[in-house]
Structure 1
Amino acid sequence: MDEEKKDNTSSPADTPRENVSPEEVVQKEPTPSAPETPMITEEEKQKIIEEERRRVENEEKMKKEAVKAYKKEHKKGFGLFKGLILLVVIIGVVVVAGYLTFDAFGNQNAWGNSYPYVATYDVLLPDSSEVFFGNVPVLAVSSGNDVTLKIGNERQILSIGTPVEFQPAHMTVKMYGLTLRESDYHLTITYRGLVDNRLDFLVSARTSDSPMSSWMRELVVPSQATVRPV
């Protein structure tokens, strides 16, 4: 038998390897190159600076305009407030001056004898205490069922339920030195007794002019008396 021939062919494992470094075995992927930064020209740089400067200027301008508008509105509101205060003060001065200069002179002799207007009032007077209707003194003093009533210089004794006429007279009403009213008046008065500790009278006032307005009547009537139209 032939001797077995040895396979002298070397296996890959037996093939000697050359010394290879790990860096050479593992190949690295190529590193991408960084993009180049575009260069800004001097002209573009100046343009950017100019735009920024304009933006800042516009912002400052808007701020100033906003502050100016606020001050203007605030000043307008304050001016309106001052105007209202001034108007109230003026009205107050006019009213006070009118009150201080208001005069009603009722002790004059009648100018005529025509009395086309009639108004009726319920009048309460304090007992035994003189009051003034304008410049006309009025005094009522009770005695039982009778009352002695003095208007101006005329004195009458009134019994309950009995009408009494007083002499006609003339009244002039002025304010600020200006004449507001001229009218003759003729009073017929009826005593009605005591009401709340005051003397109650029914007064029929015939006048040559229309009845006195309520605001004027309130200025003529003293605080101790009460006059109510009926």
Structure 2
Amino acid sequence: MTTLNLFTEAAVSTLYFEEQARQRGFQLVAGIDEAGRGPLAGPVVAAAVVLPEQFLLPGLTDSKKLSEKKRAALYPEIRRQATAVGVGVASAAEIDRLNILQATLLAMRRAIARLAESPDHLLIDGITPLPVKISQQTIKQGDSRSLSIAAASVIAKVVRDRIMLSFDRQFPEYGFAKHKGYGTKDHCQAIAAFGPSSQHRKTFGGVKEHVRDVW
């Protein structure tokens, strides 16, 4: 069974926004999305993905609508078919220093910088434009409407989950492998019992109440 046959549902996202940008003369259109704005621990990860005009990957849509198994199967296919993929990370310490919005924008700028070729137009999930001198369009619920953004959402989510699995090996008492840093009951109980780790966001509610030492 091939990877593509794992998916039976039709893709919700389309290349409409990418095609519109190309009709306006843009050549390299990158979809931008992030994963990890809400958790109490770990980095925020952003991805930038440029797709070819004839891209086809059944089942690709917003990563939040996909199971972990489907994301894992889509990830290498996106990597294989994409014209370019860039990933950017902003650490928990940077989130605490900058705030989550600014850290997210930083991760996005880093993702763009990691692309093999510089894009001339950006499709950004959400409503906040990037402070870069590149033509761009923000799209509400873009990860369900643009295939480039959907692809970026999958890349960002898979990379972040892998990072959290590595943190789980360093800090097994918190259960990062299970909740990926989100504020579940078990995670909050672990923070209360052990205090925050170096990977916790110490300015976030649910963590800052348990900071015991100067950080």
Report the TM-score, using the length of structure 2 for normalisation.
0.25
More helix by share: 2
Q: Which structure has the bigger radius of gyration?
A: 1
Q: Greater relative contact order: 1 or 2 (C-alpha under 8 angstroms, separation 6 or more)?
A: 2
More strand by share: 1
Report the TM-score, using the length of structure 1 for normalisation.
0.24
